[in-house]
Amino acid sequence: MKNRIYIASPYTGNKEVGVQRQLSMTDKLMNLGFAPFVPLLTHYQDLVHPRPYDDWMELDETWLLACHGVLRLDGESEGADREVALAKERGIPVFYDTKSLFDHFKTK
């Protein structure tokens, strides 16, 4: 089974750019053999069926807890920082680059 990696990154500002960053990272993680979770894909769900911010954070946090690790992309984000804090609180490793993430999981 592949390791599930949650991608935490900024969404505010230019939302399409945030989504694109996660999609690009998803491709890279898949090429490295991981199963990435892309929370910003809910951007498209929210365009059709808008929901309050807290609904999306609760959904994201539920999926985060099912992951083996979190990859935090750079940039200021209260939501991504909240996700990192939850991961650390629950003992889920957090990585800030793909090399450290790959090195951690290749030995397991």
Segment 96-106, tens digit of pLDDT: 999 999 999 98
pTM of the model: 0.95
**Tokens 């957090």 found at:** 94
Please count the other Cβ atoms lying within 10 Å of the Cβ belonging to residue 46.
14
Segment 34-63, tens digit of pLDDT: 999 999 999 999 999 999 999 999 999 999
For residue 66, the enclosing domain spans 4-106
CATH number at residue 102: 3.40.50.10400
- Show Cβ contacts of residue 98 under 8 Å, excluding neighbours closer than 6 positions: 25, 28, 29, 32, 71
Q: In 1-108, which ranges are E strands?
A: 4-8, 35-37, 69-72, 94-95
**Whether the predicted pLDDT of 12 surpasses 90:** no
* 38 touches 7 (CB < 8 A): yes
Number of domains in the chain: 1
Rounded distance, CA 24 to CA 2, Å? 19
Segment 16-28, tens digit of pLDDT: 999 999 999 999 9
> For the residues 7-18, what does the mean pLDDT come to?
93
